[in-house]
Amino acid sequence: MRLTREDDLVDWLRRAAPGGDRLGDDAAFLPAAGELAISVDQQIEGIHFPAGLDPAWLARRLLEVCLSDLAACGARARWALLALAAPPDWHHRRFLRALGDACRRRRVELVGGDTASAERVGLALTVLGEPVGARFVERSTARPGDRLWLGGTLGAARVGRHLVGLGARPEGRKLRLPGDFRRPERVARAARRAVRAHLAPRAQLELGEWLGRRRLAAAIDVSDGFALDLARLCRASGVGAVVEPEVLPRDPAVTLLADRCDLEPLDAALSGGEDYVLLFALPRSARPPAVLACRAVGRCTEEGELLLAGDRGELHPAGWSHLG
């Protein structure tokens, strides 16, 4: 019996997606034995990505953005639910095939969701995870004297967002760059790196699991800007912070391309956003494994201010505002 196109899509997805055998009922039935961490994120055409972007890139980006939240909680992702709204002629199967492949690589089961017709693409993914240690990592457990660490570099995604605004686009697995960024080759390499940082972030799951096994740790993922997300962590913990700007790990693409993009390198690093690296606080006696390539960037203080070291004044919590 042939039902609707949505039924056809769900039937196909049951065969194609990891965890697809759970699809088809009004709800998913999950074998959770304890606490769960649950997070949801949206990607909306015209706000988070330009019209016409390859659905396969969108799928991978959506999953990694959501997994970054779980990494910040020290959680291991287990399940995902998708809400998908798109025009009827959109490439639904290309998107879902890529999302299924990405979930399989990350050992996540896609267990449910909803579809709707819309004039432009809107995507929302809910992810659920379990603790890897005795508890989840929270923002509220940093203490005065803790050292602040970053799990990766800052600013490249801000440059990449600028380049996408100028017309940079993926073509298959390659990237088409604006003409001013195709030569010389070192500029082109930096531009491709920046665009990938924006369109293809990578959640720091290994670092998140390491933090989840620590007795004392506080963490947040840098999604809206280092300065703004640091302010959120400090406010939740009731502490202040002193940051050493000269040791902030800026991506080389920022330094090389900032002038061409009319960006100030330090501003791009501090408030650019969408870096999806982990910012975390640990006791001074603790240090992440060298293989995780983290860098100490400051310390927590008793005073509730955010300051730049060396009498450089206040660190303003600037960053991305979802409500404009």
Whether this model's pTM surpasses 0.85: yes
Per-block mean pLDDT, blocks of 10 residues, the chain (324 long) = 64 74 70 87 93 96 98 96 96 96 96 94 97 94 97 97 96 90 95 96 98 96 96 96 94 92 94 96 97 97 87 84 66
DSSP 249: -
pLDDT for the residue 1: 47
Q: Structure tokens of 56?
A: 């396969």
**Separation between Cα atoms, residue 265 and residue 271, nearest integer Å:** 10
Q: Which domains does the chain have, with CATH numbers?
A: 5-21+34-131 (3.30.1330.10), 147-308 (3.90.650.10)
- CA 245-248-250 angle, to 5 degrees, is 120
pLDDT for the residue 105: 97
pLDDT for the residue 25: 63
pLDDT for the residue 15: 81
Neighbours of 134 (CB within 10 A): 10
87-112 residue pLDDT tens: 999 999 999 999 999 999 999 999 99
